[in-house]
Amino acid sequence: MSTAPMNPTPPTSSLPPVARLSRYSTDDIEKALQNLRAIYVPRTLPRLPSPARALPKHVIHDTSVPDSGYASAEEDECAGTGEEAEPEDFDLEALREDLFEKEFAIRWLTAFAARSDGWVYDVPEEEDARTALVDSAATLLASLSGAQEADDAPEDGLTRTFTFPSPGGKVDVILNDAPLSNTDHTSVGLQSWGSAIVFAERMCAAPASFGLDPSARGLRILELGAGTGLLSLAAAQLLPAALVVATDYHPSVLANLEANAATNLRPVSVRALDWQHPRYAAPLDAPFDVVLAADVVYHPEHARWISRCVAHLLARDRGVFWLIIPVRSTGRHEGMGSTVEAVFPVASAAAKGELAILGMEKMEKHGGIGRADESGYTLFKIGWA
């Protein structure tokens, strides 16, 4: 383990360009993160700010904005020179208070998290160490975002437009990925995860294959753990006449979900649903023809809780539950997919009238989409045996 730098340097002059991430070693990235922690997560409380302080020999700020979303075809430079600034007595409090430097660090951490998958697997023997650094960067990003919000600085998250080809014309969904919470690490629904993007693309390409038949009347569609609402909003655009209900649990996630529904001008009903202690008030008091869920299993109990909810909510005659989960072979969520197969038996081994796996498909990971610990996805078709 390397040690933290003696003299923290400005992020704009020390962070490596994300577009050339493969050129940098594990130690390089570790030092970059340590430098950010030394600035923004000090071990001792900073002194009260003094007026009219400035950084000596402040670097000229590059006003270009790095791509904070998933990697795109246009890889602009993200960050500074990648070389540590010459040692000098930077006023640490002034550096910490520099809003541009802080915003630059947040954008760099966001881009690093989105594009780190290739870097993690470049050196197989260092995968665990690199995955740990990606997690560390996410924690630091949450801390910085929370601090910026507390300082009343503008932090509205990332707004992205997803466009998916569809037989009836393209489907456009505008989503706000709200800032990560530094007070509730379980509010993961503030972000759009890779599995939802992959599933939305497949669903839009062949809606009828997933029970989204435009000719069907009175269709009821439900999304569990909707997060930013990508699947619900895509389904609502594919079937404007259907009743679409998006559910989640955390208040911050529900607020962001409501905002996304309003932005897209889609008739999506947003409701709270606690899988462990569900309450089935309207519109959850009637069965649904299609139930959707993406990347919703983060705890061994989640699959069991979800199965109970689906058993209550899924229409008995033709209802289908589509569940997509990432394949994670490393990290703290390793093997969570097996809990799904433990709860839902395959149809051939299920009793009549039992929820069972009717089909299962392995899907490849798309370049630039998803977390570093995801190697692919499994799509389950679940229904009544």
Distance CA 97, CA 379 (A): 46
One-letter amino acid for residue 62 of the chain: D
For 109-122, write each residue's pLDDT tens digit. 988 888 887 898 88
Q: Count CB-CB contacts under 10 A for residue 339.
A: 18
Length, in residues, of the chain: 385
Q: Name which residue leads in pLDDT, 323 or 53.
A: 323
Picking from 283, 302, 294, the residue whose alpha carbon sits closest to that of residue 221 is 283
Q: Does the pLDDT value for residue 315 go beyond 90?
A: yes
- Predicted local distance difference test score (pLDDT) of residue 310: 99
- Integer angstrom CA distances of residue 29 from 42, 117, 189, 259, 316: 19, 14, 27, 35, 52
- Integer angstrom CA distances of residue 336 from 184, 310, 324, 329, 379: 21, 19, 12, 9, 14
- Integer angstrom CA distances of residue 50 from 10, 91, 97: 19, 11, 10
- Predicted local distance difference test score (pLDDT) of residue 293: 98
Q: What value does the mean pLDDT of the chain take?
A: 80
45-53: average pLDDT:
40
| 379 within 8 A of 199, measured Cβ to Cβ | yes
Strands 243-248 and 268-272: parallel
Categorize the per-residue pLDDT at 66 as very low, low, confident or very high, splitting at 50, 70 and 90.
Answer: very low
Tell me the two tokens of residue 132. 């740990």
Q: Name which residue leads in pLDDT, 40 or 375.
A: 40
Distance CA 219, CA 48 (A): 59
375-381: average pLDDT:
93
Strands 355-364 and 374-384: antiparallel
For 119-134, write each residue's pLDDT tens digit. 988 898 998 899 999 9
Q: Name which residue leads in pLDDT, 157 or 313.
A: 313
- Predicted local distance difference test score (pLDDT) of residue 61: 35
- Predicted local distance difference test score (pLDDT) of residue 373: 67
Q: Does the pLDDT value for residue 5 go beyond 90?
A: no
Tell me the two tokens of residue 170. 């393209």
Q: H/E element holding 8? A: none
Q: Does the pLDDT value for residue 154 go beyond 50?
A: no
Categorize the per-residue pLDDT at 291 as very low, low, confident or very high, splitting at 50, 70 and 90.
Answer: very high
Lowest-pLDDT range, 81-85, 146-150, 175-179? 81-85
**One-letter-per-residue 3-state SS of 157-187:** CEEEEEEECCCCCCEEEEEEECCCCCCCCCC
What pTM value is reported for the model?
Answer: 0.61
Burial annotation 130-154 (CB, 10 A radius, 16+ → b, else e): bbbbbbbbbbbbbbbbbbbeeeeee
Q: Name which residue leads in pLDDT, 356 or 7.
A: 356
Categorize the per-residue pLDDT at 79 as very low, low, confident or very high, splitting at 50, 70 and 90.
Answer: very low
In the chain, what are the domains?
A: 11-150 (no CATH), 158-384 (3.40.50.150)
For 211-259, write each residue's pLDDT tens digit. 999 888 899 999 999 999 999 999 999 999 999 999 999 898 899 999 9
Q: What is residue 112's three-state secondary structure?
A: helix
- Predicted local distance difference test score (pLDDT) of residue 147: 56
Report the greatest alpha carbon distance in the chain. 75
- Predicted local distance difference test score (pLDDT) of residue 347: 96
Q: Does the pLDDT value for residue 328 go beyond 60?
A: yes
For 160-182, write each residue's pLDDT tens digit. 889 999 998 999 999 887 654 44
- Predicted local distance difference test score (pLDDT) of residue 73: 28
- Predicted local distance difference test score (pLDDT) of residue 14: 86
Q: Count CB-CB contacts under 10 A for residue 87.
A: 10
Q: Does the pLDDT value for residue 183 go beyond 70?
A: no
The sheet with strand 355-364 has its strands ordered as 268-272, 243-248, 220-224, 290-294, 320-328, 374-384, 355-364
